[in-house]
Amino acid sequence: MSINNNIWELAEAFVAGSLSEGEITELNDRVAGDVAFASEFNEAVNLVRSMAGSGKQKRFRSMLRDIQAQSANAPAAPKRIVLPAHFWRTAAVAASVAILTSAITIWSINYSLKKSDSQYNTISREVGVIKKVQAQQQAQQNKLIEIINTKTKPAPPSDVKYTGTGFALTNDGYFVTAYHVISDGDSVYIQNHDGDYYKAFLVNFDADADVAILKIEKKNFHFGKGELPYTFSGSKAGLGSGIFTLGYPKDEVVYSEGYISARNGFQGNGLQYTLELPAGHGQSGSPVIDGKGNILGLLTAVGSQNEANTYAVSSKAVLELLHTIPAASSLHLPKSNKLGHMSHEQQIEKMEAYTFSVKVYKK
C-alpha cells in the first residue's frame, strides 16, 4: 500500500490546525503536484473530520438523553418531602433570561413572581394572618377528636404554612394536589371532612405542569367505602362544558361552579384549561368535575384582577405523571363512574368524602 502512517498524522494535524505555516505551504505544493496524494489526503482529512464529528455528536446525543431522562424522572422523594434547591436556582436563571425569549413558561412566572402583583397567582393559601384563628380551631378540633375518636392521629406539631386542596386518586391513599401547594414545605398532612389528620409523603411531581402525587402514610388507609365514585377524563373537554369544584378556601368545604371558557390555559398552555369559575386562595389542587362525574383537572392558578380567569391543569397531566411512578401498574384507578346518574346534590355529597384540605408545614 502506498499510504504510510504519515498521511494520517498529517491529516490529524491539519484537522486540528496544528500545522505550521511552512508545513502548510509544503503540503499545498505536494497536493498541487501529486494527484494521487491529493486524493488520498483529501479522503484522510474527510475521514478524520467525520470520525471526530460523529463521535462528538454521539456524545452530545447521549448527554441530551441523559438530561431528558433526568428531567422526566424528577426526583421522587419517598417518605419525606425535600424541596429541590436547584429548582429555585434554575427558576432564577430562567427568569432573568426570559426577557430574551418572547414567551415565558408558567413555572417561571409561578416562582419568580410569587411575591404579589403578577398576572398569574397560584391559589394556595398562605396562612400567617389567620394563624390565631386556625390555632384556636385546631385546639378545639383536637379536643373534639380526642373525645370522640381515640384512633385518629393528633394534629401535627408545627404551624401551618400553606393550605390547599387535594382529592383522591385511589381509595387506598394516593391523592393529587397542585405542586406549588407542597413545594415549599417539609411535611404534609391532609385533614378530611371529618376533621381527621393524616400524614402524607410525596410520591412524584411535575413542577412544570404543577401536579404532585402524594400518598397517605398510614397502612390500610381508605378515603371512603369502596372504589372512588368518579373517573378521570383522558381527553380534553369541550368549550362551555359545565363544571363544579369543591375546595377548602377556609376550614370548611366550599362549592363553586362555572364552565370551561378556553381549551388551553395560561399563555396557550395545552395541558391546562381556562375556566370561568370563582376560586380563591386555598383552592389550589381542587378537583374540576363535569356534570357526568368525570374529573377534568385540578385548579392551579387565577389570573390577575384585570384578567379574572381561573386555570386548571388537565387530568391528562395527572394521568401522565401517574404512569411515571413505580407503583403505577398496581394502582387501582376507578373504572366505573357512579356519579353520572346522581342528582347534582348527591354528586357533591359523594365528592366531599374524597376531597380534603392539604396542610403544609415548615419549621
Partner 1 sequence: MQSPINTEQQLLAALAAGERKTTEQIYQQHYHIINSWLIKNGGSSADAADVFQEAMVVLFGKAQDEDFRLTCSIGTYLFAISKHLWYKKLQQQNRSPIFLQDKSEEGDNDIGIAYEEDVNVHNEREAHYEQLNSALDQIGEPCRSLLKAYYHNDKNMQEIAADFGYTNPDNAKNQKYKCLARLRKLFYGEASPRPSPGERVRSK
Residues forming contacts to partner 1 in the complex (CB under 8 A) are 1-3, 5, 8-9, 31-32, 35-36, 38-40, 42-44, 47-48, 50-61, 63-65, 67-68, 71-72, 90, 93-94, 97, 99-103, 105-107, 208, 264, 268-271, 320
Taking the least distance from each CB to partner 1, the nearer of 36 and 85 is 36
Q: Whose CA is closest to 331, among 235, 193, 213?
A: 213
Q: Minimal CA–CA distance to 177: which of 124, 227, 136?
A: 124
Q: Closest distance between partner 1 and the C-beta of residue 270, in Å?
A: 4
Instruction: List, as one string, the DSSP characters of 102-132.
Output: S---HHHHHHHT-SS--SEEE-PEE-GGGHH
Cα–Cα nearest to 317, from 177, 166, 180: 177
Q: Which is nearer to partner 1, 54 or 346 (CB)?
A: 54
Buried b (16+ CB within 10 A) or exposed e, 33-44: eeeebeeebeeb
Query: What is the smallest separation between the CB atom of 13 and partner 1, expressed in angstroms?
Result: 13
Nearer to partner 1, 263 or 338 (CB): 263
Shortest distance, CB of residue 98 to partner 1, whole angstroms? 8
Cα–Cα nearest to 188, from 358, 355, 363: 358
CB of 235 to partner 1, least distance (A): 13
Select 219 or 323, whichever has its Cβ closest to partner 1.
323
C-alpha span between 161 and 349 (Å, rounded): 29
Complex with partner 1: residue 93 or 139, whichever CB lies closer: 93
Quote the least distance from Cβ 54 to partner 1, whole Å: 4
Find the distance separating the first CA and the last CA of the chain, reported in whole Å. 77
What are the backbone angles phi and psi of residue 337, rounded to the nearest 5°? -100, 120
HSE, CB side, 13 Å, CA atoms: give it for residue 350.
20
Closest contact distance (angstroms) between CB of 183 and partner 1 is: 17
Query: 21-33 and 35-72 are packed helices; what angle lies between their axes, rounded to 10 degrees?
Result: 120
Q: How far is the CB of 36 from partner 1 (least distance, A)?
A: 5
195 vs 265 by CB, closer to partner 1: 265
Nearer to partner 1, 301 or 351 (CB): 301
Q: How far apart are CA 179 and CA 211, in angstroms?
A: 5
Distance CA 52, CA 208 (A): 37
